[in-house]
Amino acid sequence: MPISELKLAKDLIRRPSITPRDAGAINILAKNLRSLGFKCQIINFKNIKNLYAKLGRSSPNFCYAGHTDVVPPGNINEWTVNPFKPAVKNNKLIGRGANDMKASIACFVAAVSRFKIKNKKFRGSISLLITGDEEGIAINGTKRVVKYLKRKKEKINFCLVGEPTNPNKLGEMIKIGRRGSITGRLAVIGTQGHVAYPHRANNPSNAMVKILKRIKETKLDNGTKNFQASNLEIIKININNNADNVIPGSADTVFNIRFNNKHSSSSLKKKLNAIFKSVTKKTKCKFRVQYEVSGESFVTKPNKTTYMIQSTVKKITGIKPKLSTTGGTSDARFIRKIAPCLEFGLVGKTMHKIDESVSVSDLKKLTYIYQSILENYFK
Ligand SMILES: [Zn+2]
């Protein structure tokens, strides 16, 4: 009997696996995979549960990657169902993780169960790399599993990441890369003083305003063949001052840049630091800056598997998916270090929202797509 994607999706959603909690989600998955003959390795890093499961031993190894953790539900009273008691209404499965991304994992497992019935002996192996730490800080998840697999000399020949990639309709978009992301926290330090005696103080807000104008007006690029233009957004401006007659001593800002492959985090840091230096020098202020890099930009050059997946999706959905690099970061940024990868999953319209949902007919279609991808890959 093949595994039902809807039943498994519901079983997974019932586990409130809000990062870093696992709540039994990985075990449910492992149980289903074992019933199909997979060897399951549960790999714990700190408080995070990860799973590497494999069916078969020979090469090539086709891997599916995803995560069982979910973001918090927000205000439960705003949901039309309990986010962890999934229900189908108007042909839609509603629950936290319905499209990001428990249901996609369920579709892949269901696809393998069907593939196996038709192909008892196939040449190669199928694996799943599943983490419980994608929505959080993601240091004990895929990043470490990838290092572990590398150490064990485990070879993955191609990896399909099942994140929701389609903006509105199943079939619209395959992701072949991602933009990089860097966050900067800048403090400009001047000299505090009496507002009526500005010559005895040095207001850092003047320098801050100049800096913000310059970094916002710096054109980073016009985009590339595979990427949209890089963009800087100012997220926070803060001058902590409770008195109206005091010139503040410092001013803070936080900004984030989503950047394409014309830059790296270090080239951006250099560019920004030069601006901070020049403005603070002219205004006789000092500055401190801290950066957090959540990923460099990357693109996987499309290969024959990419085009096979693109045409498989087109055959089933009637839409030729665009090969895109838009959106946020994903675990593909770690996996691409050991294997070529692309991303294709459900429609992400409601991800992280109240009443996250997925169309039940999309679930069936995605299972069929994943099954056909396996059949074409191992043909
Ligand atoms: Zn996700």
> Residues 66-80: pLDDT tens digits?
999 999 999 999 999
> pLDDT-based confidence at 264, cuts 50/70/90?
very high
281 CA from centroid of ligand 1 (Å): 43
- Report d(CA 288, CA 290) in Å as an integer: 7
| 238, pLDDT greater than 90 | yes
> pLDDT-based confidence at 379, cuts 50/70/90?
very high
Q: Is 133 a catalytic residue?
A: no
Q: What is the mean pLDDT of the chain?
A: 97
| 327, pLDDT greater than 90 | no
| 151, pLDDT greater than 90 | yes
69 CA from centroid of ligand 1 (Å): 8
Query: What pLDDT is attached to residue 68?
Result: 98
Are residues 167 and 315 in contact, defined by beta-carbon separation less than 8 angstroms?
Answer: no
Query: What pLDDT is attached to residue 1?
Result: 86
Select which of 69, 133, 135, 296 is catalytic: 69
Are residues 261 and 179 in contact, defined by beta-carbon separation less than 8 angstroms?
Answer: no
Instruction: Tell me the average pLDDT across 367-374.
Output: 98
> pLDDT-based confidence at 240, cuts 50/70/90?
very high
Instruction: Tell me the average pLDDT across 135-148.
Output: 94
- Report d(CA 184, CA 290) in Å as an integer: 6
196 CA from centroid of ligand 1 (Å): 53
Q: How many CB atoms lie within 10 A of CB 121?
A: 6
Select which of 134, 135, 154, 331 is catalytic: 134
134 CA from centroid of ligand 1 (Å): 7
Residue 213 CB contacts under 8 Å (≥ 6 apart), including other chains? none
Q: What is the pLDDT of residues 21-31, one digit of tens each?
A: 999 999 999 99
Query: What pLDDT is attached to residue 329?
Result: 85
| 138, pLDDT greater than 90 | no
| 310, pLDDT greater than 90 | yes
- Whole-model pTM: value is 0.89
163 CA from centroid of ligand 1 (Å): 5
Query: What pLDDT is attached to residue 137?
Result: 84
Q: Is 134 a catalytic residue?
A: yes
Angle at 362 between CA 373 and CA 121, to 5 degrees: 30
| 10, pLDDT greater than 90 | yes
93 CA from centroid of ligand 1 (Å): 17
210 CA from centroid of ligand 1 (Å): 38
- Residue 203 corresponds to which tokens in the numbers above? 């207001």
> pLDDT-based confidence at 5, cuts 50/70/90?
very high
275 CA from centroid of ligand 1 (Å): 35
Name the nearest CA neighbour of 50 among 137, 158, 138, 125.
138
Q: What is the pLDDT of residues 171-230, one digit of tens each?
A: 999 999 999 999 999 999 999 999 999 999 999 999 999 999 999 999 999 999 889 999
| 45, pLDDT greater than 90 | yes
89 CA from centroid of ligand 1 (Å): 23
Query: What pLDDT is attached to residue 195?
Result: 97
Query: What pLDDT is attached to residue 328?
Result: 85
Query: What pLDDT is attached to residue 176?
Result: 96
Query: What pLDDT is attached to residue 136?
Result: 87
> pLDDT-based confidence at 114, cuts 50/70/90?
very high
